[in-house]
Amino acid sequence: MVLMRDGAGDGAGACADRAGDGGPDVGVTSLIGRDAELARVLASCRPDGDGPRELLVLGKAGAGKTALLEAAARRLRAEGALVLRAQGDEAESRYSFACLHQLLLPLLRDLDALPAHLREPLDIAFGMVAAERPPDPLPLRIAVLTLLTGAARRRPVVLVVDDVQHFDRDSADVLGFVTRRLADPGIAVLLAARGDVPPPQVTAETPVLALPPLPERAAAGLLDAQPRPPAGRARLELLRQAEGNPLAIIELSRAAAGSRRSAPSGNRLSRVQETFAARLRTLPEATRRAVLYAAAAEGGDLATVTRAAGHDPDLTVWRPAEDAGLVTVTGERVVFRHPLVRAAAYRIAPAHLRRQAHHDLAAALRDDADRSAWHRAAACVGDDESVAAELEAAAGRAAARGGWFAAARALERAAECTPGEAERARRYGRALSAADQVGDPVWVRDLHERLARLTGDPDVLGAAARGTAMALSLAGRQREAVELLTGVLDRRPPRDGRTVLSLTSVLGAVAFQSGLPEARRRLPEFLAKVRVEPGSPARFEDLSDDACALVELPVRASASSASDAALLLDPSRPSPLRKPLDGPDEVMRLLTLGSVAWHADESDLCVESFRTAFAGLRAGGAMGQGAPCLVPMAASLLDTGRWDEADALLAEIATLAAVHHLTYIAVDAAALRATLDALRGRPRPLDDRLWTAVPLAENRVTHAYLLRAASAQAEAADDLEGAYRHLRGLYADGEFLHPMLSPRSIVDLADLAVRTGRPEDAAPLVEAVRADAGERPTARMAMLLHHATALLDDSSDAEHHYRLATVNPAGQQWPLHRARARLHYARWLRRRRRPSEARPLLSAALDAFTRLGAVRPAEETSAELRATGLSAAASGRTRSGVGGGARGGGGVVSDAPAGDPLSALTAQQQQIVRLAAQGLANREIAERLMLSPRTVGSHLYQAYPKLGVSRRHQLREIVERG
């Protein structure tokens, strides 16, 4: 197989862009991040496709044009097409018909079938006969078109032309003629060219597909597919520098040589970079100097680079670099035409010139303390406390803006410049905490190794253990995380109470994800030992007194039952959760509130809290801080029927997990995606690699999500036995696989047990869940238990449980659960010859399933409606009976509480709800009642589940009904 090239250096880019996702055929059979583009290319080339039969693929060097053409050609050949290939070559562009000869070479044996007047110009053009003059252009063009049309009668023909910008003029003229006169649907033309605009060789009417940079997730996947990719900070730096260019990713990875600490700034040049370096070396000395300063400034603003390099502002020094296609100078900036040009310009310069460039740039940036500090650090050789102090100050400013990646980089470099070991250890500890906020486990573990070699201080090591344990957890290594945390807390607990609290908080998160009873059991013991002196200075953990009051609450929720966790949200009890804070503390409060609500079965409150917190974290680029909360947020979105929002969040989680190697989070997101697909009627088997990506015995949350996803997929594919078998794994050996997720699946298990003839197997499990829920189950667990009991009860007592599973107004926040309960209740009623009572229930269920997009349940409900004598189209006329209280033998089916709907609220909550129902915004309500807008929002979030609503616009109806 012949690989096509995109010109200088892009052959490697093609190979890189074809690197797979880590499977056995890496580098041969798959593209990463180009599925949509490949589909567009194939659609334009297939005989049955709609639209034009030609396409031009445009992109920068290394964008993957060649790889895309290669993949399309391989697919088209497999489908039976004749693929004719040609490669433009700058060296051959002076020879007439050189490229046309490449293209038609497989068809030369068909020349004899052409009439003599058409065969002769082709023979002359290809040098097969001696000729005194060039071939007549028109007969030559008609001959080519005739030759292609004849071949297309036997099978589809696709002309694949790479680097068309280097086609010789005569070949380009013939190709343009053929393209303009394409009438046979069996002929398609696929072109590729470098640049942002079509080259003159291509007709203006040809549709264009521009290749954008790879998305973050695909770029990370491509990097991971390389033989020795860098890790930690070097990995993140490489992805930032490559800017989504496949060629840059592969070549910078090669240059880094697989060293964990090799940032992509060393002197080693790859083969492709050497191509750019050769062009750089031909530039005049003054221009090379200017380009070096721009590279050291990573582009930078033009005025700063020019001032630092000591050049006149007339810009003539840049002209040779622009003429060589290496940079573009705009009115304000110097832009490198390819990421590898910048890397090569920096690396080919001698060390003393690079150091001088950074020194001069630091001087030119005296008014920009942060950038100046970085250039001073780059020019620093050995230790320099003044440089370290400047970088630490810059890190503080970055952290205040939420820029945790910049803060961690600055603190790590500050530590490297620090003379004394104790101070160096302190800065490494701060760098580790900042890197933990970024959410990159490899970087955190690398910093921990360096820190452990410097000090034995229990406070320093305790702060480091916190970030390292979270990094181990995010990588799926829960037992190691538990052993590290308990070892520190047992043997050498830090003196600083804030650090002890922070360690215990991480242990709570690890205990939840792992599901290990031994980790969960020890949480109350460690919480009891926490002693935080109010107002005491924080050495390593930036936890204010307000934050300290919050941190322990998710731990308590994780260590207790859902009903006990719900007490933490009780408005009659004092709680720091209801006190809005400022800055980072407010983000922590919202994350804490969402976590407690997740444990307490308050799904709407969970969603609203996390949603607001994540908005702040995204703005600051610190999503790593909320990484453990992302999956609960996505699961709550599914539970509360916000499936489109869940779709978008799962895509974001997958990207974050791919970039930062958050292993268990990646698997959890994939499992939730499979569950959502199954609910929407799109069953697709789970990737086998998900089951082995993390050790499931110590990642029970992940195991539970995978079992639930596999069950949902099997059920959607009509494999009820398989669905039951997977779900039964949540209750292996009579115990819960996970204390939270197993009970929440009890209705699904009971339903499948009945449908597969195993009700007696599920009955004791329902009782076990009932015992675990205790005497004060949450509203959600009460509904689920009544629903599951009704499914397993074949007597008339089942109706009592069905009614309790469908009438509780709190159930509105779980629309899928509520709709399924109504469907099952209606089915029970219909089979007892009570169709008129079943119809309102079925109508409401059908409406919910349709709004959600739950295809299969909607079809089942429509069938039940038809069985009652009512068509699905007519069902809308019955819904007024549902909302207003349709009575029958089954009682009232209503989403509203009886009596005064506001009676369950406090006096202040009633005031706020009434004003919100009038259309006032939170800020307007706050001004009237002399409260803060955050307090108003908090009261509304607490009021929604009590009123049985999930949206603000529903309050008007509730108030009017009261």
* C-alpha to C-alpha distance for 169 and 159, rounded to whole angstroms: 18
Residue pointed to by tokens 């013991």? 525
Report the relative pairing of strands 327-329 and 334-336 from DSSP bridges: antiparallel
Which of 50-59, 496-505, 681-690, 913-922 is least confident? 50-59
Find the radius of gyration of the CA atoms of the chain.
Answer: 33
The whole-angstrom separation of Cα 897 and Cα 458 is 55
Q: CA–CA separation, 938 vs 864, rounded Å?
A: 42
Q: In whole angstroms, what is the distance from residue 216 CA to residue 790 CA?
A: 48
State how far the Cα of 226 lies from the Cα of 253, in Å rounded to an integer: 7
What amino acid is encoded at 477 in this protein? Answer: R
At residue 853, the pLDDT reads 92
Q: Which SS3 state, helix, strand or coil, does residue 686 take?
A: coil
Tokens standing for residue 33: 């991040």
As a whole number, the mean pLDDT across the chain is: 83
- For residue 651, what pLDDT band results from cuts at 50, 70 and 90? very high
Phi and psi of 61, rounded to 5°?
A: -60, 130
The pLDDT of residue 22 is above 60: no
- Looking at mean pLDDT, say which of 99-103, 197-201, 253-257, 800-804 comes out highest: 800-804
List residues bridging with 59 in a β-sheet.
194
**pLDDT tens readout for residues 210-238:** 889 998 889 998 998 888 888 878 888 88
What's the pLDDT band for 2 if we cut at 50, 70, 90?
very low
Token pair of 441 as six digits: 């486990």
In one-letter notation, the amino acid at residue 576 is P
DSSP label of 200: T
Lowest pLDDT segment from 173-182, 600-609, 666-675: 173-182
Question: What is the rounded distance in angstroms from the CA atom of residue 223 to the CA atom of residue 235?
Answer: 8
Reply yes or no on whether the pLDDT at 529 is more than 90: no
Q: Which residues contact 236 (CB under 8 A, 6 or more apart)?
A: 405, 438, 440, 443, 659, 660
Q: Residues 262-291: what's their mean pLDDT?
A: 75
- Angstrom distance (rounded) from CA 731 to CA 746: 10
CA distances from 278 to 44, 281, 350, 575 (A): 39, 5, 15, 67
CB 875, CB 839: distance < 8 Å: yes
Instruction: Identify the bridge partners of residue 58 per DSSP, sorted by sequence position.
Output: 193, 210
Instruction: Evaluate whether 467 touches 448 at the Cβ level (below 8 Å).
Output: yes
- Averaged pLDDT for residues 74-80: 91
Buried b vs exposed e over 589-611: b needs ≥16 C-beta within 10 Å?
bbbbbbbbbbbbbbbbbbbbbbb
Residues 91-105, mean pLDDT to the nearest whole number: 80
Phi, psi of 38 (to 5 degrees): -65, -40
CB–CB of 370/397 below 8 Å?
yes
pLDDT of res. 603 = 92
Residue 30 has a pLDDT of 60
**Mean pLDDT of all residues in 393-401:** 85
If you average pLDDT over residues 593-608, what whole number do you get?
Answer: 92
Nearest-10 Cα torsion for 606, 522, 628, 475? -160
As a whole number, mean pLDDT of residues 293-314 equals 84
Of 14-18, 58-62, 682-686, 815-819, the one with minimum mean pLDDT is 14-18
Give 336's DSSP letter.
E
Rounded-to-integer distance, Cα 158 and Cα 148, Å:
10
Q: Which tokens go with 287?
A: 């221009």
Q: Which of 127-141, 176-190, 766-780 has the highest mean pLDDT?
A: 766-780
User: pLDDT by residue (tens digit) across 828-886?
Assistant: 999 888 898 999 999 999 999 999 999 989 999 998 888 887 655 554 444 433 333 33
pLDDT value at 615 more than 80? yes
With a cut of 70, say whether residue 941 has pLDDT above it: yes
Round to whole Å and give the CA distance between 670 and 700.
Answer: 15
Q: What ranges in 492-626 are assigned the alpha helix state H?
A: 497-514, 517-521, 523-528, 545-559, 562-567, 584-599, 603-620
pLDDT, residue 23, reads 32
> Kindly report the CA angle at 334 between 328 and 338, in degrees rounded to 5?
60
Token representation of residue 203: 């007709």
The tokens 């593209």 sit on which residue? Answer: 31
Q: Does residue 40 have a pLDDT over 80?
A: yes
> How many residues are recorded in the chain?
962
Q: How many CA atoms lie within 13 A of 297 on its CB side?
A: 30
Q: State the amino acid at position 655 in one-letter form.
A: T
The pLDDT of residue 432 is: 86
* Tokens coding 909: 């909550």
Q: Tell me the residue ranges of DSSP E strands in 265-339.
A: 327-329, 334-336
For residues 170-178, average pLDDT: 84
d(CA 932, CA 916) in angstroms, rounded, equals 15
For 52-70, the pLDDT digits (tens) are 788 999 988 888 888 899 9
299: alpha, beta or left? (left if phi > 0; alpha if psi -120 to 50)? left
Distance CA 82, CA 324 (A): 39
Calpha distance 71→103 (Å, rounded): 18
Distance (Å, rounded) from C-alpha 412 to C-alpha 374?
Answer: 12
**Nearest in space to 370 (alpha carbons), one of 346, 403, 338, 348:** 403
- Supply the pLDDT for residue 133: 67
CA nearest neighbour of 503 among 594, 433, 575, 423 = 433
Distance from CA of residue 467 to its chain's centroid? Answer: 22
Closest to 642 measured CA to CA, from 595, 597, 603: 603
Q: So what's the pLDDT on residue 535?
A: 66
User: Which range, 293-307, 509-523, 883-897, is most confident?
Assistant: 509-523
Which DSSP state fits 157?
E
Q: Is the pLDDT of residue 16 over 60?
A: no
CA distance 846 to 860: 9
The distance from CA 447 to its chain's CA centroid, rounded to whole angstroms, is 25
Strand partners, 811: none
pLDDT of residue 26: 29
Range 391-419 average pLDDT: 87
Q: Report pLDDT for 665.
A: 93
Query: Which 3 state secondary structure label does DSSP give 747?
Result: helix
Strand-pair category, 208-210 with 54-59? parallel
* Lowest-pLDDT choice from 248-262, 300-314, 384-398: 248-262
Query: Which letter does DSSP use for residue 743 in this model?
Result: G
**Cβ atoms 56, 208 nearer than 8 A:** yes
DSSP 904-932: TS-HHHHHHHHHHHTT--HHHHHHHHT--
Task: Please give the Cα distance from 87 to 100 (Å, whole number).
Answer: 10
The domains of the chain, with CATH numbers, are 34-210 (3.40.50), 814-888 (no CATH), 907-961 (1.10.10.10)
For 794-852, what is the HEC assignment?
A: CCCCHHHHHHHHHHCHHHHHCHHHHHHHHHHHHHHHHCCCCHHHHHHHHHHHHHHHHHH
> Can you tell me the distance from the alpha carbon of 888 to that of 325, in angstroms, rounded to the nearest whole number?
80
For residue 10, give the nearest of 251, 239, 280 by alpha carbon: 251
Q: Which of 45, 342, 40, 43 is nearest to 211 (CA)?
A: 40
Residue with tokens 């040779």: 320
| Percent of the chain surpassing pLDDT 70 | 89
Q: pLDDT over 90 for what percent of the chain?
A: 33
The rounded distance, in Å, linking the Cα atoms of 672 and 665 is 10
Look at residues 340, 247, 352, 250 and name the one whose alpha carbon lies nearest to residue 295: 340
Q: Write the CB contacts of 80 (distance below 8 Å, at least 6 apart in sequence).
A: 155, 156
Taking the C-alpha atoms of residue 690 and residue 663, their distance in angstroms, rounded to an integer, is 10
